Chain A
Amino acid sequence: MPYDYLEDIGTADIAFEATGRDLPELFTAAADATMNVMIDNLEAIEPRETRRIALKNDAIDMLLFDFLQELIYFKDADCLLLRIREVQIAEKEDAYSLNATAAGEPLDPARHHQRADVKAVTLHDFRVEKTDGEWKASVLLDI
């Protein structure tokens, strides 16, 4: 699993570290880490509906911030649980642009094992960095 939950950060909240060989892998892992806070059995989310996500940001960390917020938005607005199927990230003229396709289905309490609702992505020690050829993100989610 390309993400780990951290025990000693954010007493009332949930922190994770996600990794990826490239940005699409990192963003996909961070999206699953966020959804996995809410739903224990991610594999039970069936790809019945899709949503397209298109974002732009000057900073790579804020692009991830916006991206994770999209998942939280669809969870509240449409009661929809989503996983990322495809994501493309391009850097052009000092700005990053992202195009992604997410697929999932409305929450079904009988099949989806709930954990805790995510209220927001916080900027507490929020980081996206590349070290030794690997991308890493540190995220604290407000519960």
Chain B
Amino acid sequence: MAIIDDVQKISDTVWELPVTYKDGMRVPARVVATEKLVREMDEAVYQQISNVATLPGITRYALCMPDGHSGYGFPIGGVAAMDVHEGGVISPGGIGFDINCGMRLVITNLTLDDVQPRLKEIVDLLFQRVPAGVGSHGFLKISRDEFREIVEQGARWCVEHDYGWDEDLEVTEESGCISGADAAKISDRAIDRGYNQVGTLGSGNHYLEVQIARPEDVRDKDLAAKFGITIPNQIVIMFHCGSRGFGHQVATDYLQVFLKVMESKYGIKILDRELACAPFESPEGRDYFAAMKCGLNMSFANRQVILHRIREVFSEVFGRSAQDLGLRMIYDVAHNTAKLEKHDVDGKERKLLVHRKGATRAFGPGHEEVAPRYRDIGQPVIIGGSMETGSYLLVGTSSGAQTFFSTAHGSGRTMSRTKARKQWNGKQLQRDLEARGIYIRSTSWAGLAEEAGAAYKDIDEVIEATELAGISKPVARFTPIGNVKG
């Protein structure tokens, strides 16, 4: 892997492909990363991000975050802001099939000393209560009509049905329910695929982890204290999952809708069918936006129900209430979305549809869309690393305008699943990690091998890149001790 010849270095953390690189590029393509990370990126990232730069309405740059790697349509880590008043498009390939795949972080008032003796019991019980793996179904028995309510009401439905606390909604992006979700825009197949899956983790890179905040890994004590991270070796719980089969079907349905109308009705030509799109201000674009919001809400609901299960498990193991154990949510972020946002572009406020695919929104302090509780410090950002290394809590910064206030979402892979699987043995990996103090339960040995830490970029390098680029600021690093893998 190497930096391709046409890439120009703009600064230590910004690398640009000019519009002359490829016919049809409307704006330059930029990768935000350190030189080391840029050198590690696969060449397909440049092809994909320069394809994104050809989409109608794209504003300023097509961007790729430091954890970027090749995907389909957009690269993973891709960010593109479309001006909806200038023919800007909406594209499922810029969001991903797993709409609102995201992260949730929960603190406790427990320490490593409290949890270590019960770790296996906790992880085993979490593994039982939070179903993972291929096509798994959740414990929530609801009708298709109730599921339609869920996709319109998101985590709010869950809290109203006693699967959570009111304060959980205050610390969820969009308060756990994005407005404008319309279940009438959803196919029956999407409902069929999703209504049994609320409260399930999925598989691949989805996980639920028990982690510790070591005192030496708290990077900003004042900020950490604002999140309640104040005790040495405090236990936190982090999990990563999305909208399951429901979101996947919504994206699949509209990909096909857009392929039919894109060129014939709207005269849009694209370089990759995974970039199928329609003008945002079109019936098809509007329908997908309303359907995609249902995917967002399903995902918020999914993570809300999983949080409920986590609280039950800890409460059962320790014989104390979840309130007593301080199982409070820090935040819930989405990293596969398109959102209408106001951004300043060359001194003028513009309404942009910001696609983030494997990228996290990271508004700085004072921004009106940051939850009131965190408005003075910036939007919390949760970045999950591999199961072997560590994860981070960060905050958005005022200097993030260059990426439309977006930052990384994970460590980013460097090796394909197929290659990783040949290189490692899942059972052996589990034993090795247990010897290193990380207890893992997984539905799949092969899946575990595919998630080996060495298949990922160095999380610390990714975080450093986001800090150097000024797009987010680290608060604390967390080390895994227990992991449920899908």
A interface residues, Cβ below 8 angstroms from B: 5-15, 38-40, 69, 72-73, 75-77, 79-81, 107, 109, 113-117, 119-126, 140, 142-143
- From A9, A80, A81, A114, B416 is in contact (CB under 8 Å) with A9
A77 touches B193 (CB 8 A): yes
Interface centre among A12, A69, A123 (most CB of B within 10 A): A12
Residues of B within 8 A of A117 (CB): 133-135, 202-204, 486
In the bound complex, what is the Cα–Cα distance between A68 and B446 (angstroms)?
A: 22
In the bound complex, what is the Cα–Cα distance between A79 and B194 (angstroms)?
A: 11
B413 touches A12 (CB 8 A): yes
Cβ of B371 under 8 Å from chain A = no
Residues of A within 8 A of B194 (CB): 76
B203 touches A116 (CB 8 A): yes
Having A38-B135, A142-B96, one finds 19 other A-B pairs with CB under 8 Å, namely A7-B416, A11-B413, A12-B76, A15-B416, A72-B248, A76-B194, A79-B196, A107-B135, A115-B450, A117-B133, A117-B134, A117-B203, A120-B97, A120-B252, A122-B97, A122-B274, A123-B274, A124-B72, A125-B272
Looking at the assembled complex, report how far the CB atom of B140 sits from the nearest CB atom of chain A, in whole angstroms.
Answer: 15
Across chains A and B, the number of contacting residue pairs, with CB separation under 8 Å, is 146
- From B69, B134, B197, B244, A39 is in contact (CB under 8 Å) with B134
A79 touches B135 (CB 8 A): yes
Residues of A within 8 A of B416 (CB): 6-11, 14-15
| Given A14-B418, A114-B444, A76 contacting B197 (CB threshold 8 A) | yes
Encoded as 1 (CB less than 8 Å from any A CB) or 0, chain B from 73 to 86 comes to 10010000000000
Cβ of B42 under 8 Å from chain A = yes
- From A5, A38, A69, A73, B418 is in contact (CB under 8 Å) with A5
In the bound complex, what is the Cα–Cα distance between A15 and B205 (angstroms)?
A: 17
Cβ of B431 under 8 Å from chain A = no
Interface centre among A9, A77, A117, A143 (most CB of B within 10 A): A117
Cβ of B230 under 8 Å from chain A = no
A120 touches B446 (CB 8 A): no
B444 touches A73 (CB 8 A): no
Residues of B within 8 A of A11 (CB): 42, 69-71, 76, 413-416
Residues of B within 8 A of A5 (CB): 418
In the bound complex, what is the Cα–Cα distance between A11 and B441 (angstroms)?
A: 24
Looking at the assembled complex, report how far the CB atom of B181 sits from the nearest CB atom of chain A, in whole angstroms.
Answer: 20
Looking at the assembled complex, report how far the CB atom of B125 sits from the nearest CB atom of chain A, in whole angstroms.
Answer: 17
The 10 closest A-B CB pairs, nearest first, are A76-B245, A124-B72, A117-B203, A76-B193, A123-B273, A122-B72, A77-B192, A120-B97, A114-B444, A143-B204
Report B197-247 residues with CB < 8 Å from chain A CB.
Answer: 197, 202-205, 244-245
B444 touches A113 (CB 8 A): yes
Residues of B within 8 A of A114 (CB): 133-134, 203, 443-444, 446-447
8 A-B interface contacts by CB (under 8 A) = A11-B415, A11-B416, A76-B248, A114-B446, A115-B450, A123-B255, A125-B272, A143-B204
- From A9, A40, A79, A121, B446 is in contact (CB under 8 Å) with A40
A120 touches B251 (CB 8 A): yes
Looking at the assembled complex, report how far the CB atom of B451 sits from the nearest CB atom of chain A, in whole angstroms.
Answer: 9
Closest to A112 in B: B134
In the bound complex, what is the Cα–Cα distance between A10 and B417 (angstroms)?
A: 9
Encoded as 1 (CB less than 8 Å from any A CB) or 0, chain B from 85 to 110 comes to 00000000000111000000000000
In the bound complex, what is the Cα–Cα distance between A15 and B70 (angstroms)?
A: 13
In the bound complex, what is the Cα–Cα distance between A30 and B418 (angstroms)?
A: 17
Residues of A within 8 A of B42 (CB): 11
B418 touches A6 (CB 8 A): yes
| Given A7-B418, A109-B133, A113-B445, A119 contacting B97 (CB threshold 8 A) | yes
Report B417-461 residues with CB < 8 Å from chain A CB.
Answer: 417-419, 422, 443-447, 450
A126 touches B133 (CB 8 A): no
In the bound complex, what is the Cα–Cα distance between A5 and B96 (angstroms)?
A: 22
- From B134, B196, B248, B419, A7 is in contact (CB under 8 Å) with B419
Closest to B41 in A: A11
B193 touches A13 (CB 8 A): no
